[in-house]
Structure formats: structure tokens, C-alpha cells
Amino acid sequence: MQYTQLLPNQYPSLLKGLKKQPPYMYIAGAPIPSDDYKFLCVVGSRKYDNYGEEACFELIRGLRNYPVVIVSGLALGVDSLAHLAALEYGLKTIAIPGSGLHDDYIYPREHLPLAKRIVLTGNTLLSPFEPDQGGDTWTFPVRNQLMAAISDATLVIEGGKESGTLLTAKNTLEIDRPLMFVPGSIFSDLSYGPHSLSGDGGILVSSSEDILGVLGFDVAQERTDRTKSKLEAALRDLPDDQKIVLRELQFKPYTSSELIGKLGISAVHFGIIATQLELHGLVTESNGVYRIRVK
């Protein structure tokens, strides 16, 4: 892979604000995304279980279409899952291995194909080490500090008592950045790391919307805007009888009997309209009450 050297004046603003910056870094692939993006560091156990894998992919899937960059360490386990999920769902990703970027020294060796895929898909490899520096006991703490420092927040998905994941979590707290964790099973040793963070100021998250909120996105307002836009399109394009029901539901929920009486239509006719609106994803019904579906 081709790589070039970065100097401090080329670093993203989050790094420029730190007292201790790497004197230089090496980069391969695309330039580091602009400060218009939010950088999310995702770390976790090397030996994850099915729950950890599902949680990683589900949470990152929910970040698609937002300007979020997934940062992780190319390591075995959750780190590599985070990169793979980002690639699958079209998010940008930055991999920071605990080694230099020369093909012969990328660590772990098993992830050289993943590193190349990251570069070829228009994403980024970044390292604070000389290109021919192999992975060593001292390089991983340095890498962990950089991942936390370049990110707006860190998300922890599984980790045992001795997990290096906890070092990245500590680095995040030391620089006063938000630290999030995914709750795990009380029967799993992999839940120790995340659950131990609750007493240190860690933020429990159980959905992508939780993460987006921590990153500063106004999810509720964006959801309202999307619903409004969808309603406006529906009120232009739908048949008149469906438009009439939608206009009524814009202001308050109604029972079926209330709508039938208010609009002067038969129960059969209303049932057809309601079914069509539900199929379009515009209306939802619960316990006989119909309301606009907020998405």
C-alpha cells in the first residue's frame, strides 16, 4: 500500500486541541474526513460472542445516512467487526493498527486483506508509527490513546476484566470525551468491562438513536422533519379519500368509530382506507386508535 506522512498542521481539530500530539503520522487511502463528520471509536473484546456481533452490526446499521466515521483498531474481534459493519452500511471508517502501515508489518497479519479493502473502498488507514514498526507491547497503548483522541466519543461493546478495551475507555475519560457502553448479559464474562464503566461516567446505550444523541444529532427533530416530508408527499399523490383521513390524523389521533362518524363514510370503506395507509407506512393503529406513524 502507498502511504504518506502527516504533520500536526494536517491533523483533525480534535487532535490539534490536545497538549500531547503525535509528532507525525502516516496515512494510507483517503484523507481524514472533515470536521463536518462525527468520529465514533468502537472497541470491544477480541473474543466476542453472537450477542456482541449482532449488537455491533445493528448499532452501526442505524448510523447510516448520518455523517459518522467509525474509528477502530483493525484488531481481532469487535474492532474488525466495526470496520466491516461500516463498510457494509456505507459509513466512512478509519483503521488505526498497533503497527506501521507497510504491508509486511500490518498487525494483525490476518487483517492485511481487510486493511487493503479499507483503502480500496475510499477509506483510511492511520498510524503514529514508522511504516516498518511491528506490533509490540508498547505500540498498542499508544494506538488506543490515538483512537480515543481522534474521536468525538467511544463505544464499548463487550470486554472481559483484562481487556485492552478498558484502556481505550480510560483514555476517553481522561480527555473528557463521552464514553458509551452496550449492556450485556449478567451471565457473560464479556459483560464485565462494559458494566464496570457505569460507575466511571459511562453512558448506557441500547439503540443507534442513543448513540446519535450523544454525538449531538437532534434525532427527534430529524424524525419529525422526515415524517412531515413524507406526509406532504402523500397529500399530493394519494387518492382523495385517503388524503381526507390523513388530514384529520395530522392534528390528533382518532378511533375508527370517531373517524367514520366525522367523515361520514361506511365502516367497510374506512377499513379499506386504513389498510392502504398502514401499507404505505403512514398510519399506525393500536387498541383501535389510529395516529400518524412517526419514522
* pLDDT tens figures, 229-255: 777 887 788 898 888 888 888 778 889
For the residues of 43-103, what is the DSSP string, one character each?
EE-SS--HHHHHHHHHHHHTTTTS-EEEEE---TTHHHHHHHHHHHTT-EEEE--SS-SST
Domains, the chain: 4-214 (3.40.50.450), 219-292 (1.10.10.10)
Measuring CA to CA, how many Å separate 59 from each of 51, 109, 121, 243?
12, 27, 21, 36
Cell representation of residue 121: 473502498
The pTM assigned to this predicted structure is 0.76
What does the pLDDT read at residue 223?
Answer: 63
Q: Which amino acid is at 256?
A: S
HSE, CB side, 13 Å, CA atoms: give it for residue 262. Answer: 14
- pLDDT tens track for 172-202: 999 999 999 998 887 888 888 788 887 778 8
Task: Say which residues have a Cβ less than 8 Å from residue 157's Cβ, sequence separation at least 6.
Answer: 42, 43, 44, 45, 48, 52, 55, 56, 59, 78, 181, 182, 194
